[in-house]
Amino acid sequence: MLVVAGLHAIPISTTQRVDDARAIFVLGRRRETLRRLREDPRAALCVLGEGVAFTAHGRALVLREQLEKVPVAALELLVDHVQDHLADGRTEMLDGARWRWRDPDAAAADEQVVAELTRLAGSEAT
């Protein structure tokens, strides 16, 4: 989940880790979330899955206004700090959200987005 100013949260599915202080993801160019981030870049990325639960807090900035093959903007989360929700050992995550594309065109576009983000993450890594 990506949370931005105004307590606005949306699920995102195409996040790539660049390094310990950065992650990249995409948003549709007409998303309200993108508009909000342009006004106030503060953001939190909450990741929940089997064996993992953390929130990365920081600033999200536009890296690319549009990817090559898909009309989405690529953003970079510059992480200020990470809150590990499992650090005290009292709980564990058994599973994460499971989903799939029902539209074959959207599934094909998602594959292209993931491939482009992977390339972008590789070129942005230090």
Structure tokens, 8:
């606005």
pLDDT confidence tier of residue 125, bands split at 50, 70 and 90: low
pLDDT digits (tens, 9 = 90+) for 22-54: 999 999 988 999 999 999 999 999 999 999 999
pLDDT digits (tens, 9 = 90+) for 85-96: 999 999 999 998
> 12: exposed, middle or buried (C-beta count within 10 Å: 0-12, 13-18, 19+)?
middle
Structure tokens, 57:
């807090």
Domain ranges of the chain: 2-124
pTM of the full predicted structure? 0.88
The angle at the Cα of 76, spanning 84 to 52, to the nearest 5 degrees, equals: 25
Please state the CATH superfamily assignment of the domain spanning residues 2-124 in this structure: Electron Transport, Fmn-binding Protein; Chain A (2.30.110.10)
What is the CA 100 to chain-centroid distance, rounded?
Answer: 17
Structure tokens, 102:
């029902």
Give every CB contact of residue 91 below 8 A, 6+ residues apart in sequence. Answer: 53, 85
Q: What one-character-per-residue DSSP string does the chain give?
A: -EEETTTEEE-----EEEETTEEEEEEETT-HHHHHHHH--EEEEEEEETTEEEEEEEEEEEEESS-SSSSEEEEEEEEEEEEETTTTSS-----------SSHHHHHHHHHHHHHHHHHHHHH--
